[in-house]
Every structure is written in C-alpha cells, then in structure tokens.
C-alpha cells in the first residue's frame, strides 16, 4: 500500500487568477472543490470537453526536482494544481481509486503541462513537467480535505 500526505491546498476563483492557499477545502462529488474555478465552470478549460477536472494533484518532489534539474523555482501554488502531495507517486494512481483524508478519488489521467501554464509561470516549465505534471482526479465521495491528511491507495 502506498501512502503520502497533503502538504498544501490551492484554489483559484476564476481562470488566470492567482492560486489561493487554503488549510482545508470542501470536495463535492461529481463537481469539484468549492471555491475553485472548475467547480464554478470558470476555469480556462471549462468549456473544453475532458475528464478529471474536478481536482488536480502534484508531487512536491516534482517541484523540487524542477529546481534541481532545470534551475526553475516554482512555488507550489504556481503549478496551478489544487493539492500538493509528498510521498505518493501520483502517476501510479491513473485508473485507480484512492483516499485523501475522508475523500475518495479516482485518478483519471496525467495532468500534463500546457503552454497556458508556461505563460503564467516561466519558460521551461512545460518541458520540465512533461509526464510528471501531476494527476487529474474525479471525486467519488466528497468531504473535507485538510493540509496534513494522509493519502492511501
């Protein structure tokens, strides 16, 4: 059994808005994170069909590796992912259900970086995050996610 933890949580109220740090957030099954742009349908990709837009996760180890390997300093919230984790290899969760605190999620697909992310951050982020930009997940059963919550697969 794999295990990790939530080290930070972020939401943005609308497309392109700065990510706001939260100590906890309400995850609504079939909808997303309360207060986030995709919950309200105002995210950059809200009008584009796709799966796994209810919640996104990224490993802090990836953000740290980006600095070591590419000399790119990216604040965890600047990754535009909702939940930053430690100790959980997220790529292994595609197609699998897993638990974040009291919330049950289903890993849908990798959260590959896009040019839009690079326009909001810095050159090199796109290539530095290919195949390790995080995970897109759907909320199977909702509840509250807290910083410090355990992640179990």
Domain locations in the chain as residue ranges: 3-148
| CATH classification number, 3-148, choose in 3.40.47.10, 3.40.50.300, 1.50.10.10, 2.40.33.20 | 2.40.33.20
Confidence at 41, pLDDT banded by 50, 70, 90: confident
pLDDT for residue 47 is more than 80? no
Return the pLDDT at 87.
97
Q: Which one has a higher pLDDT value, 124 or 49?
A: 124
* pLDDT exceeds cutoff 60 at 142: yes
Give the global pTM: 0.91
pLDDT score of 46: 53
24-28: strand order across its sheet = 32-33, 24-28, 143-146
Beta-strand (E) ranges in the chain?
Answer: 3-11, 20-22, 24-28, 32-33, 55-59, 83-86, 97-100, 103-110, 135-141, 143-146, 150-152
């Amino acid at each position: 059994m794999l295990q990790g933890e939530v080290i930070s949580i972020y939401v943005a109220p609308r497309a392109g808005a700065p990510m706001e740090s939260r100590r906890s957030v309400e995850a609504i099954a079939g909808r997303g994170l309360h207060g986030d742009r995709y919950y309200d349908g105002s995210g950059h990709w809200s009008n584009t069909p796709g799966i796994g837009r209810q919640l996104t996760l990224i490993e802090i180890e990836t953000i740290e590796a980006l600095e070591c390997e590419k000399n790119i300093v990216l604040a965890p919230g600047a990754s535009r992912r909702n939940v930053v984790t430690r100790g959980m290899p997220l790529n292994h969760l595609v197609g699998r259900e897993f638990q974040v605190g009291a919330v049950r999620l289903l890993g849908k697909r990798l959260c590959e970086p896009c040019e839009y992310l690079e326009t909001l951050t810095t050159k090199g982020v796109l290539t530095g995050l290919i195949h390790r930009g995080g995970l897109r997940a759907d909320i199977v059963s909702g509840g509250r996610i807290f910083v410090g919550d355990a992640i179990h697969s």
